[in-house]
Structure 1
């Protein structure tokens, strides 16, 4: 572009008003400055853009050609400004969240339900992955925030604690009754059962594998299941003993459809919370979400 944007704005305003005096008032600059800018533009284009008369100015054929393009450009800029202003006023934004399918159902959805009521113009994208995959997406800046089980090392991550969760083993009364009929003692249930666990890429599974190894519990028969919901459902039809999160089977434990198996060595509780990168400047949408869940916890604590 040969001329500056301000020069074209002057040309556009003069052409639109058809009068240098009116253009000067609209642009808050002097008439001589307007005339000088137009002269400079005509010299650079090597043609006359306006015809001058006592009644004002009118575009030449060359001026009409240039104006047809400049008009589109400034109308597009004005539209962009209006949309940006409207976006800011409405709070339009985009928030990308990473979470495991289990935590998404039982912990994230209640937060999102209230957040969306407050900020309906923020678009939400959710990537359901394991905690390990969520941490990787955070590192690669592919998501803004993750709902995860607290990892051993936080590195470049800010972690905001939400709750503790406890892993337990559960089965139906019928399954435990059948084990007892086969002579299986209570302290040998895990070694003698079909144990159902989340797949090996899941942080919960890795945590339970460590627990079993540390306590010298050798599982003879196991099934890998892709989701916590399926673990619960398989356990309820007596396929085997499932490792689940206590907080997510409160209903089943209360109505007796699942029974918690007592352990000689308790499984330590784990922390769950929101995580985001320290080194990345948060977007407005992320700032609103962070403020929301922090204030939400204060109100409910």
Structure 2
């Protein structure tokens, strides 16, 4: 390994170009120098890394194994260099956060409003996706952090913010009139949504049969529909604290089992090189998360 780093760089270029000539053009060195470097690496490892043909080269099984690992290693080196440059760049930095629009409004924004004032040189990018999509792009390293309901059996690291509770709410007037009608509305997120899938684990199918089911992909709409007296909405209790407190909404739990609370967290990949600004942001959140002014989950 000691003297092979430059050889590995040439090996990657050949594997990705599919020919020594293509690699030579990419690296701005001669084709004989590329061929000599590959031969030297193969001799060092005592294996053949490429199958040669008139059309070019392709990786052998040993070559594929080496390519996967070397590619990851070079990407990790590049990421490390980026972190070092960012750490020493006059206090500037960039944090990319994936979050659903609902969690963004009720949980992320209170933290960001203060953090951006205290750290004006840190650029924040918000990518709004469903929690499922956020988890996917987080694992693919497309974002630094994901604000999500903690997934089962996840390999992600998490900073817990607290717990949220799924509940059913409606106006008191709607519930009092419900006994007089046969077509009461039950408003839910659609079945592709992780929150809906979680709720469905607890709610028996026969419960839904009593209602006219209305579905949407946006919890904000469920809350607004419930507030305007259109029907019973399945929402996060912590997001309607004010409405439950002033009596605009009341909980409906007739014939319903208790739904287990869910943990909400800032998730990040422990395999990825830590971004110092991300870690600083998490430390900031950790200091504030017990304050009710910033965290609706406490």
Q: Into which bin does the TM-score normalised by the smaller protein fall?
A: 0.5 to 0.7
How well do the aligned residues superpose, as a CA RMSD in angstroms?
A: 2.4
**Who is 2:283 aligned against?**
291
After the TM superposition, list the runs of 4 or more consecutive aligned residues in structure 1 that deviate by more than 3 angstroms.
84-90, 297-301
Does the CA-based 8 Å contact 2:203-2:257 persist in structure 1?
no
Residue 199 (str. 1) matches residue 190 (str. 2): yes
Structure 2 distance, partners of 1:153, 1:87, is 33
Taking the TM superposition and a 5 Å limit, the aligned residue runs for 1:25-64 are: none
Q: Residues 244 and 206 of structure 1: is their aligned pair in 2 closer, same or farther, counting only changes over 3 Å?
A: same
The answer as to whether partners of 2:223 and 2:235 remain within 8 angstroms in 1 is yes
Q: What residue in structure 2 maps to residue 254 of structure 1?
A: 245
Residue 114, structure 1, aligned to residue 106, structure 2: no
Q: 1:121-180, CA deviations, whole angstroms, 9 ceiling, x for partnerless residues?
A: 1111101111111100101111000010011121x2001111111111011122112212
User: Which one of 238, 252, 273 corresponds to residue 281 of structure 1?
Assistant: 273
Unaligned runs of at least 5 residues, structure 2: 1-83, 293-297
Q: Would the aligned equivalents of 2:193 and 2:217 in 1 still touch at CA under 8 Å?
A: no
TM-score normalised to structure 1 length: 0.64
Query: Post-superposition shift, 1:86?
Result: 10
Give the match for residue 126 of structure 1: 126
C-alpha contact 1:94 1:123 (8 A) present in aligned 2: yes
Aligned length: 208
Q: Which of 212, 216, 227 is the aligned partner of 1:225? A: 216
Matches of 1:290 and 1:227, distance apart in 2: 27
Over 3 Å counting, the alpha-carbon distance change for 1:146 and 1:218 in structure 2 is: same
Q: Structure 1 residues 278, 255: CA separation in 2 closer, same or farther (over 3 Å shift)?
A: same
Aligned to 2:137: 137
Deviation of the 1:201 alpha carbon? 2.7
List gaps (5 residues or longer) in structure 1: 1-83, 185-191
Give the deviation of 1:89 after TM superposition. 5.9
SS of aligned partner of 2:213: strand
Q: 1:299 to 1:91 in 2, by over 3 A?
A: farther
Q: 1:257 to 1:132 in 2, by over 3 A?
A: same
Equivalent positions of 1:76-115 (< 5 A) are 88=88, 90-115=90-115
Q: SS in structure 1 opposite 2:142? A: coil
Tell me the distance in 2 between the aligned counterparts of 1:298 and 1:262.
29
Instruction: Tell me whether 1:239 sits opposite 2:238 in the alignment.
Output: no
The whole-number CA distance in structure 1 between the counterparts of 2:200 and 2:109 is 28
Residues 132, 201 of structure 1: 8 Å contact kept: no
Instruction: Name the structure where helix makes up a greater proportion of residues.
Output: 1
Larger Cα Rg: Structure 1 or Structure 2?
A: 1
Cα distance between partner residues in 2 of 1:113 and 1:298 = 16
Q: CA offsets, 1:8-55, max 9 Å, x none?
A: xxxxxxxxxxxxxxxxxxxxxxxxxxxxxxxxxxxxxxxxxxxxxxxx
What SS does the corresponding residue of 2:201 show, helix, strand or coil?
helix
